[in-house]
Amino acid sequence: MNRDRLDLIYDGSAWTRVIEGIPRECKNNETGAVIVEPWAGIHSMTLTATSNANPAPSLTGNITFLQGNTCHQKNDATITLTRTGDVPAGTPTPDADPIEPLVLDPPGAAFRGTYTVNVTRVAAPNFAPGQRTEYPVTQLQATPTCTRSGDRCMIMIDDGSGVPTFLWFVDGHYESVSTSAHLIDCPSSPTGKSDNPQYVHRLENVDGSSPAQTIRGTGTYTYVGDCAGEFVDEWVATRTGD
């Protein structure tokens, strides 16, 4: 967070700030190598006055940082700003950046509520033509956080495991990229396991409705080096409620 300048927008009840987060380095937990992948992160803050006095003696609120892809995480913190006096005489007024118009229901925020998820594996190195594997049906809750302009949204996916994952809405679709997950047995590899795969999850709102009634797409595991190959899952989420 930039402590030298913090731009907040007052909406009549609270001061808010939602921006694309500053990129953080992501490393492989086992090797320490830096993972090169698209950045996905949103930083949000909401502050309210502790009294009706003007000027307010203090503001309190919450800060949330969401990061997607391999190093996905959710960090929460509280913040209190306490007034200590007037701005010193002669302090220049900061340049006022143009305020982006607030988009109330951006396309990325359509993925929200509770969903039933059906996943079917449709391709794998050892699959016969036409072979498919159905996985058990699961449930999830989707909660979006979007920038003011709505061009970037992070969707927090809670499947009840206690470890949320995230989808990044960009260029009209939802996606996540993960490296070094789901190693498979590989006898020809020196380690007996496959090289670190890359998993790409890409989803779309089928009919553009809001909230989205059906989210559909694929999840693809790509392995390189020894035991190279692809595993492809078809993924369909059907909305069941808020």
pTM beyond 0.95 = no
Task: Give me 168's structure tokens.
Answer: 């990044």
Give the per-residue pLDDT at 183: 67
For 48-74, the pLDDT digits (tens) are 999 999 999 999 999 999 999 999 999
The tokens of 101 are what? 């118009």
CA distance 162 to 69: 17
Give the span between the Cα atoms of 64 and 18, in whole angstroms.
Answer: 9
Give the CATH class of 107-241: mainly beta
Q: Which tens digit of pLDDT belongs to each residue from 91-137?
A: 887 776 677 888 999 999 999 999 999 999 999 988 999 999 999 99
Q: Where do you find CATH 2.40.128 in the chain?
A: 107-241
CB atoms inside a 10 Å sphere around CB 1: 14
Confidence band, pLDDT 50/70/90 cuts, at residue 226: confident
Provide CB contacts within 8 A for 5, sequence distance 6+: 94
pLDDT band at residue 182, thresholds of 50, 70 and 90?
A: low
